[in-house]
Amino acid sequence: MAFLPPTAAQLGLFLALPEIDGNRADLLIEQAVALCETVVRPLPDGASAVVLSVAGRAYVNPQQVSYETIGPMSVQRPQGSGGLYLTKADKTALKSLAGRGGAFTVDPTPAAADPSPTYPVDDDLYADGGWLEPGWG
């Protein structure tokens, strides 16, 4: 199944907003998809959560406000919390959804490798089918 980008209505539900500017939401979702495709292309099926997260951050904090005081209330947001950007967690999630990342093993042995020894074998070392040194056989 191909990736289907989330809709403006889904972004509104994600942000728990009763009303949402559809044109602005569509633009942010489109840009978030393009940004996510810089990490993984094509986007996997579950990438809509990352796209909504990226678009949601930009929707609620477009001017990248880091500190705001209105009357007795003040809010401080982390630096760089506005605009469109991918966090390290977003990139990790995209790679994981695409089946990339994580631990893996690489076997450097060629498929045509011969298990026989390549060094000269001295048959005199093995007297009577055992080791010459006591205790080794």
> pLDDT per residue over 51-106, tens digit each?
999 999 888 877 666 667 788 887 776 665 557 888 899 999 999 888 876 677 78
Residue 114 domain-assigned? no
* Residue span of the structural domain in which 18 resides: 8-97
Which band of pLDDT confidence, cut at 50, 70 and 90, is reported for residue 25?
very high
Residue 44 Cα to chain centre, angstroms: 11
Domain count, the chain: 1
Structural domain contains residue 35: yes
- Which of these, 38, 34, 68, 66, lies nearest to 51 by C-alpha position? 34
Q: Give residue 116's pLDDT band: very low, low, confident or very high (50, 70, 90).
A: confident
Contact (Cβ atoms closer than 8 angstroms) between residue 34 and residue 25 = no
In a domain, 36, yes or no: yes
pTM for the whole structure: 0.62
